[in-house]
Amino acid sequence: MDSPWDDDPQATYAREADWAKISNEFTNSGYREGIVAGKESALQEGFDSGFADVGVPLGRELGLLRGTVSAILSLLSSQPPADIPFTAIDEARDIATSLGNIRFTDIAPRDVEAEQHAREHMDSDDPALDGSEELVEKRKMEGLEDMLEKLTAGAGGISAQGRPTKEDVVRLKERLGALSRDLGLFIQTVG
């Protein structure tokens, strides 16, 4: 009964447990190293696309508007007050102030893929992911970041409801166009 050979089933169980442990260990370490390598392989590609497709066109458009209104303001304030309609200066100042308030996060399009992926993290039951405490921790951070991002995108800063939007930029552009026409300026548009 107490023979040492009797614990055979126990030993088999232990071996299986070891086996699962080994399999997990190697799969997980492969996963961890793969994630780093995969990320590094794609960073530059992502950077280049974000730069050319979103950052440059949005920045240039806003910059053009700001430069235009800056030139108009400097023109108006260099002229004797009697020569210019009072409303023109007010309008130019107002447009300049509004343009100055706009941040990148106000007008940037959503990164749908990023949002989608963050959601997948939230409700994924990928065992390889759940196994790692580190990943769980980081997923929590991502959730926090999403919340923060929503806060900064929606409200952010001084006024709680008044963050400008893409539509505001379009309106400001129209107002600036009207103002230039009133002043008799034909500003070459760029493509």
Partner 1 sequence: MADDFDLEALVHLEQTFYDSGHADGFAHGRIHGLIEGRALGREKGFEMWEELGFYEGFALTWQAIYTQQGRDDQRAMHHIKHLLELISQFPRINPSAAQAESSSNEELDISKLLRQIRSRYKALCASLGVRPTLRAAQVAEAGDEEGSGPGPSASRQVWKLEEDAKRPTMQGLSF
By C-alpha distance, which of 46, 76, 57 is closest to 179?
Answer: 76
Instruction: State which of positions 20-39 bind partner 1 (CB under 8 A).
Output: 22-23, 25-39
Output 30 or 162, the one with its CB closest to partner 1.
Answer: 30
> What does the block give as tokens for 128?
């390889």
In whole angstroms, give the CA distance from residue 147 to residue 118: 11
Sequence-distant (6+) residues with CB within 8 A of 12 are none
Q: Does 178 bind partner 1 (CB under 8 A)?
A: no
Instruction: State which of positions 59-98 bind partner 1 (CB under 8 A).
Output: 59-68, 70-72, 74-75, 78
Output 32 or 175, the one with its CB closest to partner 1.
Answer: 32
Are 40 and 148 a contacting pair, CB within 8 Å?
Answer: no
Q: Does 150 bind partner 1 (CB under 8 A)?
A: no
Q: Does 49 bind partner 1 (CB under 8 A)?
A: yes
Q: Does 108 bind partner 1 (CB under 8 A)?
A: yes
> Where on the phi/psi map is residue 110: left (φ > 0), alpha (ψ -120 to 50), or beta?
beta
From the list 4-12, 155-163, 165-173, 178-186, the region that binds partner 1 by CB under 8 A is 178-186
The distance of closest approach from Cβ of residue 12 to partner 1 in the complex, given in angstroms and rounded to an integer, is 17
The runs of H, that is alpha helices, within the chain are 8-50, 56-78, 86-101, 104-107, 112-122, 127-130, 133-154, 166-182
Q: Does 138 bind partner 1 (CB under 8 A)?
A: yes
Output 75 or 89, the one with its CB closest to partner 1.
Answer: 75
